[in-house]
Amino acid sequence: MTKMFLLFSHKLLESQKEEAMSRFNVDKFIELPGKLRNKWSDVPSQGDIPKGYLDEIINFINLNKSERNYALVEGEYGIIYVMVQWCIKNKVIPLYAAAKRVYKSFCNSDGSISEIHIFKHVTFRLYKDVY
């Protein structure tokens, strides 16, 4: 069985599921449970990331791994770096989603300006050394 751990703070799009299943043969998508998802989404912004901050998330992945594993890793930059390094060392293939971004701005009747940012999934990319 091939699993994909979802280490990010929003829902996986249908187009992302389809690509993961067809390109990487993912059979099962695993979301972090509530407490761990909140921890991933709410990294302390003051000071350094506390030592051991990811321990519960890493334990969860270790308990739920199968023979082939991917992790979609997106979020706060420092925690991404730590988690990607852990994934590489522990034979979990880390990915991120590349998206096309469209920005629209328009003037409202009251003179205020509204902005819309639209993100459309394009592809998954592997975190890897390129230099």
pLDDT tens figures, 38-84: 999 999 888 888 889 999 999 999 999 999 999 999 999 999 999 99
pLDDT tier at 131, thresholds 50, 70, 90: low
75, burial (CB in 10 Å: exposed 0-12, middle 13-18, buried 19+): middle
pTM of the model: 0.86
- For position 28, what pLDDT does the model report? 97
- The radius of gyration of the chain's CA atoms, rounded to the nearest angstrom, is 17
pLDDT tier at 23, thresholds 50, 70, 90: very high
- For position 130, what pLDDT does the model report? 62
Domain ranges of the chain: 2-126
Alpha carbon 92 to its chain centroid, in Å, reads: 13
